[in-house]
Each structure stands twice: as C-alpha cells, then as structure tokens.
Amino acid sequence: MQTGVSAEPAATVAAQAAQRIGIPREIFPGEKRVATVPDVVTKLVKLGFGVVVEAGAGELADVSDEAFRDAGAGIAGSTAELWNSADIVFKVRPPTADEVALMHAGQTLIGFVWPAQNPDLMQQLAAKKVTVLAIDCLPRTLSRAQKMDALTSMAGVSGYRAVVEAANAFGRFFNGQITAAGKVPPAKVFIAGAGVAGLAAIGAAASLGAIVRANDTRAEVADQVVSLGGEFVKVDYEEEGSGGGGYAKVMSEGFQAAQRAMYAQQAKECDIIITTALIPGKPAPRLITAEMVRSMKPGSVIVDMAAEQGGNCELTEPGKAVVKHGVTIVGYTDLASRMARQSSTLYGTNLFRLTEELCKTKDGVINVNMADDAIRGLTVIKDGEVTWPAPPIAAAPKPPAKPAAAMPKASAHGHGAGEPMSAQSLAIVFGVGAVLFALVGLYAPAAFLSHFTVFVLACFVGYMVVWNVTPSLHTPLMSVTNAISSIIAIGALIQVAPPLDAAGVTDRPNALILGCAVFALVLTAVNMFGGFAVTRRMLAMFRK
C-alpha cells in the first residue's frame, strides 16, 4: 500500500514517535543547503522524535535519500506529504507563501525567518495558528545560547568562502614566493569588519600566506585580529563602536569621515578587499565608494559579503561578479550555500542543540517554555499570536560594591602600604639583614654554614628564574619544580633500606617509621609523575 512516507523499517520507527520533524526541500533559487544531515538525524531519533525528509532534500548538499534512510529517517514522496505529516518543520530559508499555505494549526516552524524584514510573512504565519521559532532572533548575549547560534555558524562559513572566491578571482599567489622566474610579492588583503565572518576570513587569508589587515569599529576585537595573524588598522578617531547583542553600532559622522579616509588609503595599497559590515535591521553601510574602486590596482578584487542587504561597495551588483574599472567586484549572496555540505552540518547541529533545549525530557515532545530567556527570544509567534520582539533580557545583578578601604596611614618612615620604601627604610632593612648574616657566619657550626650558603643561593637563583618567566608559564614551571623537589624521596629510601654500618650490619627501622617512609614514597611518586604530566599538558597549549 502506498503511503505518504516510504514504508521502510526506519520510517516505521519514525511513525511511532511522539512528534515528527519534517525536513522539506529548499525551493529558494540557488539554495543548496538542507536543514539537517544524517548524523544529526540519528541524534534526533535518540531524543524520541521521528524524522521525515522530503525526497531529494539533500541532493544539492551531496546527501542522498539513502543516507537519510540509513540514519533513521522516513522519506516523503512530495512537498505536500512532508508538510502534512510533520509536527515540527526545520527550514533554512523563510517559507514562501506556497509553503505557508501547506501548514496547519499547531505546527511548529524552526528556521531563519527575519521577522523585521518580513512583516507580511509574519501575518501569514500567525493566521495559520502556528508556532514559529526564528533562529536569527536568538539572544546572542546568552553564553549558553552559543551552541544554537546558527548566525555565527553561517557567518564563519561565509567568511571562509569569501577568501576562496577572492583567490579564484585574483589569479595570483596569496603567499610570496622566490622562484627562478623571479620574485612574487605576497597579496595584501584588507578586511572591513572583524566580526565572526571577518575573523574567519582573516584566518583563511593568513593561512594562505597573504599580508592581512583588518578594521572594526569595536576596539576590543584588535587582539583577536592579531591572534589570527592579521594587523589591526585603527581609525584615527576615538569613539566606542560596540552595540547591543555583540553587534557594532551606527557610528557618528565624524568617525565615518575618518573611516572613509582610512579605507581610501587601504584601497590604494591592497590587492583584495573583503567587506562584512552589517547592522541588524538596517541597510548595509556604504564603505567603498566608486572613487575608491577606481584608485585600486588593475586586477584587484572586492568581495562584498553584505551584497544581499544592498552591499558595502557602491558598485556591487547583488548575486553577480562584475568587473568595473579593472576591479572584480564579487557580490554573491549565497556564500554559505556554496559550501552546502559544511553549512548544512553546522546548521543541523545548531537546530539539534535547540531541540535538546526544547525537549529536556527526551520523550520526543517539545515544550516552548516562554520563561526561558533563550527560547523566549527565539519565539516570534506562539500558537498564532505574534510575540516578536521579545522583551529585553534583564541584566544580571551587579555584586554589591565593597566598602572603600581606609587609606593606610603613612609609617614613621614616610611611606604607606603599596608605596615604594624610602632610601632610609631600605638601608635599615639591608643593615639588619647584614647583621643577621654576620652573626650566622660567626657563631654557626661549619656544617650548618655550608647548608645555609646553599639555601641562600638557591633562594636567590629560584627567585631570579621565576621572576624572568612569562606569567602564563608559571603553572608548568611550578609543576616542574614540584617534580624536582621530590628529591626528598632519597630520605624515604634511606629509611626503607638503611645503609650498612662499619661492621656490615644495618638497623631495620620499626614498623611505624617503615610505614611512614613507604607512604612518603607513594606521595612523592605522585608528585613527580603528576608534575611532569601537568607540565606537558600546559606546554602543549602554547604549541600550534
């Protein structure tokens, strides 16, 4: 008997689940991604859900129906069958009007929706009495929400792909080379915007050997740029650029003028420019003017990652790669889709993590808990009622301020706590120390004096060694010193096996001393091996 879902054993498992997750084929022109992959399907089934995938949904992402079936999913023969049989629908692109028409009351949609840009779509979905979780509305300020942050995942893929597209259009080496045919200079890459996409682009371009420069309105990302092998180019204008939710804010006209001057200089010097500047809910800011394009060297490349929102370059044509004034301007709007398998894997994992939050009971039934800040932020429609925008998340209460400590009174020698000692105090301290050392030298036994000398020298050398070590290496240094200090094991060994006297006889220690010695050896062994093991692991953190 023919049914809406293929009658395979895996489909039978899906049919018995409490709720069924549907994965339709994306119909947006040029979209190659799919909302989940076989590895994620297996995890969803373990949570108790059934999974149904529309036939051919993963074809453009190199995922076959057979792979989905082997992972435990059923295969729906048509789009209508998929939407009718699914309680929850995972999508990549916002649904079209035709797809909305296939939805039914009580259904849940999870995917990119962009409610601010699609008010008509929001009304259509609300009229269907469905629940909609927009993955693009995830509160990114919540640390526990990072595992569900699909915007970050897709931005990372897009940033990497932007460098690949730039390399393809550039037609020259990225890294410098010296060959028998002559010297090839390294490519100079400038990246406007050091968010997730920009940082991914910096890492990819630097790994290819290019000289990478980057700029961002947020000064705090400078260290991240440098850590990835880039050079942070600062705008000669003081203004804080951090906005809410981890995004940049709209800058003042004075800052923008200084920024344009800096971009004009970089355009003349660099071979490749990659722009990533976007502010949620606003058109992409124009950073690269036609005059800057004309000033670039022939054969240069601009990759405009903001093309879908109008573009950061004045001459960008969304969806196309064009050549103007001898410069190739790449305005592709599907960079993440051009790496469909990788993007689908990351996106599917993000949705799975969200599903874990929605189904903590692992019984195959989701619970849209509006008391959860992350879920509340994602939920733009609840049972047909528009709940977007979500109320701002209350800031965590600040710890109570500690009472101001009373200012230390100056001592009789004229210095307080935290102040350097005066010359008079320093002389007194050294004088007292010299007297003590003189007394030790005059009256201490010779045996004590030799040990005391070694002790003083060890303290001095140890202090100088530790003082000159980078603070980040103090933990492995202390671990090594712990291991070396375990020379005390020799004392325990002597107690366990005391040496022979002149007559060739040894005095065996009593049981208590022998037990303490053995216990000391055990602790010392742990200290020695543990110290070297910790050192090895710590030093591994500093190796590439």
pLDDT interval class at 502 (50, 70, 90): low
Percent of the chain's residues with pLDDT above 90: 59
Q: What is the mean pLDDT of residues 383-389?
A: 96
pLDDT above 60 (res 373): yes
Q: What is the predicted pLDDT for the residue at 17?
A: 45
- CA-derived radius of gyration, the chain: 34
Please write the tens of the pLDDT for every residue from 113-136: 999 999 999 999 999 999 999 999
pLDDT above 90 (res 63): yes
Please write the tens of the pLDDT for every residue from 198-236: 999 999 999 999 999 999 988 889 999 999 999 999 988
Please write the tens of the pLDDT for every residue from 5-28: 544 444 444 444 479 999 999 999
pLDDT above 70 (res 242): no
Highest mean pLDDT among 53-67, 270-284, 447-461, 484-498: 53-67
* DSSP label of 5: B
Mean pLDDT of the chain: 86
> What Å distances lie between residue 530 and 481, 534, 536, CA to CA?
11, 6, 10
Whole-angstrom distance, CA of residue 506 vs CA of residue 2 = 93
Task: Output the pTM of the full model.
Answer: 0.71
- Of 98-102, 253-257, 442-446, where does mean pLDDT reach its minimum? 442-446
pLDDT above 70 (res 188): yes
pLDDT interval class at 498 (50, 70, 90): confident
Quick one: tokens of 135? Answer: 């993955």
Q: What is the predicted pLDDT for the residue at 12?
A: 41
Q: What is the mean pLDDT of residues 228-249?
A: 74
CA angle in degrees (0–180, nearest 5) for 539-540-541 = 90
CA angle in degrees (0–180, nearest 5) for 184-190-191 = 140
Question: In sequence order, which residues have a C-beta less than 8 Å from that of residue 391 and are 6 or more positions away?
Answer: 376
Please write the tens of the pLDDT for every residue from 350-371: 999 999 999 999 999 999 999 9
Q: What is the predicted pLDDT for the residue at 236?
A: 84
Please write the tens of the pLDDT for every residue from 452-476: 777 777 777 777 766 666 666 666 6
Please write the tens of the pLDDT for every residue from 147-172: 999 999 999 999 999 999 999 999 99
pLDDT above 60 (res 518): yes
Question: In sequence order, which residues have a C-beta less than 8 Å from that of residue 188 and are 6 or more positions away?
Answer: 210, 211, 213, 269, 270, 271, 272
Q: What is the predicted pLDDT for the residue at 2?
A: 39
pLDDT, greater one: 188 or 535: 188
- Of 48-57, 186-195, 277-286, 394-403, where does mean pLDDT reach its minimum? 394-403
Percent of the chain's residues with pLDDT above 70: 82
Pairing of strands 272-275, 188-192: parallel
pLDDT, greater one: 340 or 451: 340
Q: What is the predicted pLDDT for the residue at 525?
A: 82
Tell me which amino acid residue 171 is: G
